Amino acid sequence: MTRLLGVIAVTVLSLGCGSQPAPPVATSAPFTPAPHANLAQMMRGIPFTFSNIVFDAQSEDPGQPRLPAEVGGGATATFKNVYGGWQAVENSGLALAEAATLAMLPGRFCENGKPVPVQDATYRQAAEGLAAAGRAAYKAAQSRSLDAMVEVSDTVATACANCHEPYRDFDDAKDRCTARDGVAPAE
């Protein structure tokens, strides 16, 4: 009798679980990557945030034990220990490298309404520099060395300056996203 019930159960489960395919998800068009933020918003949300985590690792050891998050402290307090420590610094380096790709996404505009100059050689070189700095920060974080973080922080700061100086650092915001003549990327 037990064997008969087992056969019936397996038959019912196999019929119920595999008989109907899931309905397709209705979409109006295939997904096409497109920017959702202007350049300033994207830069403040991703590279600014994650470069500061890299910079903090120069003087605050991410490997030190941390206090548990307080219950009810909101998402920031609750999740700060989930991917914290050196893993947070590693992830920050990777976020910087990924942000370079986002900075090159066609169709993005600057805060002043000008298109992001993705075709300018200086801008492209600066984006490549940000990607390289992010990869270097990731590698330095993997070493778990504060000295390595001091060294790579200069690399990250230089990568930021290579875009800020020619494209962002103007007294008048309307001039941003137009390359300033005579500004070459730092080495």
3-state secondary structure the chain: CHHHHHHHHHHHHHHHHHCCCCCCCCCCCCCCCCCCCCHHHHHHHCHHHHHHHHHHCCCCCCCCCCCCCCCCCHHHHHHCCCCCHHHHHHHHHHHHHHHHHHHCCCCCECCCCCECCCCCHHHHHHHHHHHHHHHHHHHHHHHCCHHHHHHHHHHHHHHHHHHHHHHCCCCCHHHCCCCCCCCCCCC
Question: Higher pLDDT residue, 184 or 62?
Answer: 62
| pLDDT tens readout for residues 34-92 | 999 999 999 999 999 999 999 999 999 998 876 665 555 565 555 566 778 899 999 99
Which of 13-22, 55-64, 102-111 shows the lowest per-residue confidence on average (mean pLDDT)? 13-22
Please determine, for residue 116, whether its predicted confidence score (pLDDT) is greater than 70: yes
The domains of the chain, with CATH numbers, are 34-62+70-175 (1.20.120)
The reported pTM is: 0.77
